[in-house]
Amino acid sequence: MTDYKANHDEAPAGHHSVLGTRPSVLVIEGVLRDGLRVAAGFTELSWVREQFAGKLGLDIWPGTVNLQVQDAAGLAVMERLRAGPDGPDPVPGAVPIDPPDAGYCVGWCYPARLAHLPAAIVVPHVTDYPPDKLELVATVRVRDALGVAPGDRVTVTLGSTSETPDSTTALNTNPLPRAGEGPPEGARP
């Protein structure tokens, strides 16, 4: 698996948390998963594209990025995201995506970065939405831009743009072994 970290801070030796915090910045790590292949149609709707462009400044790529969050701390942040801005412990920066009619669900989006890429977390208000699924949109096809595939870990950073890493942030691109593989050649232990 490839490990893309968009966080400047190095974790102490032996530290394996997938959630890190800095003032006004949250970091969630998830495993890239294939989606249901229906989001491209939704993200190509004119009212959706207009809202992402107008409210978040994102000219979004058709489709979404789906991550499975497995860490308890990351799942706790996702619960806060799903509660929205009126929840008991809201995550700052929620932006409503308002459908033109009742045929579509309401949702919240949060400005974010996938590694160094501008993105937004999409939180649809759907009752049976999987609690471990983190869905995002970005301005490019993320799999191509980051060279990731299903099973790879990707780090998402939420926070103020002045503190969120930008395209100059170094990425930890040392690949981690896939199941049944040894460590990559030249990898540090």
Q: What would the mean pLDDT of 45-58 be, rounded to a whole number?
A: 90
The reply to whether 68 falls in a domain is yes
Share of the chain above pLDDT 90, in %: 39
- Domain residue limits at 150: 3-9+18-159
pLDDT of residue 39: 64
pLDDT of 129-178, one tens digit each? 888 999 999 999 999 999 999 999 999 999 754 433 333 222 333 333 33
pTM (2 d.p.): 0.71
Q: State the CATH number of the domain containing residue 107.
A: 2.40.30.30
The reply to whether 186 falls in a domain is no
The reply to whether 139 falls in a domain is yes
Number of domains in the chain: 1
CA angle 33, 132, 50 (to 5 degrees): 70
pLDDT of 88-122, one tens digit each? 999 988 998 888 887 777 788 999 999 899 999 99
- H/E element, 3: strand 3-4
Instruction: Tell which phi-psi region holds residue 80, choosing left (phi > 0), alpha (psi between -120 and 50) or beta.
Output: alpha
Q: Which band of pLDDT confidence, cut at 50, 70 and 90, is reported for residue 125?
A: confident
pLDDT of residue 78: 92
The three state secondary structure string of 80-149 is: HHHHCCCCCCCCCCCEEECCCCCCCCCEEEEEEEECCEEEEEEEECCCCCCCCEEEEEECCCHHHHHCCC
The reply to whether 125 falls in a domain is yes
The reply to whether 168 falls in a domain is no
Residue 40 near residue 63, CB atoms below 8 Å: yes
